[in-house]
Amino acid sequence: MDARATGPRARALHDERPGYRRPRPRHRPRWAERAGLDRGGPAGYRHGMRSEIAQMFGVEFPLFAFSHSREVVAAVTNAGGFGVLGAAACSPGQLDRKLSWLDRQVHGRPYGVSVLVPRRLDRAAADPAARLMEHIPDVHRDFVAHLFAKYGVGGGRRFTPDSVGGPPDEVGRRVTSSGATGLVDVALRHPVRLVAGGLGPPPAEMVDRTRAAGVPIAALVGTVEHARRQVAAGADLIVAQGTEAGGHTGEVATMVLVPQVVDAVAPVPVLAAGGIANGRQMAAALALGAAGVWCGSVWLTTEEAETPAVVKRKLLAAGSLDTVRSRSRTGKPARQLVSAWTEEWDDAPESPGPLPMPLQILLAEGALARIADAAEKGEPGAQELVNHFVGQVVGQLDRVRPARQVADEMIAEFTTAVTRLTRLTGTRPTGRPPR
């Protein structure tokens, strides 16, 4: 047959030659269609990103979304990203129900679970849970009761110090390695693709169980030293979280931290976290060497978020200077919205100062839950006290949107940013982010 012959029959014979692999048809992935990208966009983005992390987890785009809302997790996973459910506040039964719901919603697409693994805290929580309250000094109990009275929480009704604490069983379960391992056991009964942990290296038994199930472990870190320690303990993926992030953070900014961690733990992949809420910030993170991004704060004001309405309003009104790293919620420095709660604990002359973790959680969690309920009922004093973990990107959160729209807009803006950079350098875009 003439090698120059054309037509369907000739192509079919040509395709049947030994070792021949027919090219994949060129098409746009779902995220590109939703983002409104035309076929003339950067080569490579038509098929989604080919980063190592995208291939590792089977996602179209390396956007990892941490949220306590199962609806947010499902929305981002179904948008082509990777949703991660925060499970620390769940009992094993609650987590099982949430994951069963997710399994029905994502139809086999990948998602993960995040737990707290504070190995060093086991001694502090070694006593039976019912005795944990005995470790809290009376002066700290009295101070919380004083705040309730000062701000009229509960309509000025008198609260005794013992009535404002949290349930010891719940808090004790959350802040121990054994509690985290129990949640991981539940997660591994579902098709999770990642188990993430914060605060400390994963205990050996957790590593063994996840490895046996073929599930990678991710670890959140705030310093290069912590990253090395996590990799030595068995972490397969590092989340380098800068001080801009919400929740427990270190003091090093994302721009400084990420490239240092990337270099220190190579070839272990690194996700960038902290100060990332749009596509331009995502492009900057990948330029630093990150394989993808991990975002949390940006989902707090989405339609699906479980954030109380009164807190959503405070977040939408806040600027980037309206957050603070405070020990007033957990006993460890955690970035959160500035409120009367943080100011009283950190600055008031009569404040006894926060307790170490887990005792401050035990003292504060139940009190903050009551404060949030009172704030939702319109009590002005409670609305002054109520706050939430959130990063400095809170200044970018200006409206309520569906989580899927947030993801799509981040992806579209990322592509625009990369296209602009390639034009500045005069090079042709490859569509391949840093590996």
Is 353 part of any domain?
no
Q: Give the span between the Cα atoms of 344 and 302, in whole angstroms.
A: 30
Residue 427: the pLDDT is 66
pLDDT at 429: 54
- Please give the Cα distance from 235 to 220 (Å, whole number): 10
Q: SS3 for 207? A: helix
Residues 187, 190, 192: CA angle, nearest 5 degrees: 75
Q: Can you give the length of the chain in residues?
A: 435
Over the stretch 256-314, which tens digit does the pLDDT of each residue have? 999 999 999 999 999 999 999 999 999 999 999 999 999 999 999 999 999 999 999 99
Confidence at residue 28, expressed as pLDDT on a 0 to 100 scale = 41
Q: For residue 298, what is the DSSP state?
A: G
CA neighbor of 221 nearest in space, from 197, 205, 204, 244:
197
Task: Read off the CATH number of the domain in which 47 is found.
Answer: 3.20.20.70
378 inside domain: no
Residue range of the domain that includes 45: 30-125+175-300+400-425
| DSSP annotation of 132 | G
What sign does the dihedral 297-300-305-308 (CA atoms) show?
A: positive
Which amino acid is it at 358? Answer: P
When divided into structural domains, the chain yields a total of 1
pTM of the shown model:
0.84
Between β-strands 82-86 and 292-295, what pairing exists: parallel, antiparallel or unpaired? unpaired
What count of other Cβ atoms lies within 10 Å of the Cβ of residue 216? Answer: 19
In a domain, residue 205? The reply is yes
**Which pLDDT score, from 0 to 100, does residue 33 have?**
45
Query: How wide is the angle at C-alpha 411 spanned by C-alphas 410 and 416, nearest 5°?
Result: 95
Q: Which residue has the tokens 């006894």?
A: 352
Q: Is 220 left (phi over 0), alpha (psi -120 to 50) or beta?
A: beta
Report yes or no on 67 lying in a domain.
yes
- Contacts for 33 with CB less than 8 Å, ≥ 6 apart: none
- Identify whether 121 is part of a domain: yes
Looking at the domain assignment, is residue 431 inside a domain? no
The type of residue at 73 is V
Please check whether residue 185 lies inside any domain of the structure: yes
pLDDT of residue 200: 74
Check residue 390 and give its pLDDT: 98
In a domain, 146, yes or no: no
Beta bridge partners of 115: 197
Pick out the chain residues at pLDDT < 70: 1-50, 118-131, 156-179, 427-435
CA distance 46 to 41: 7
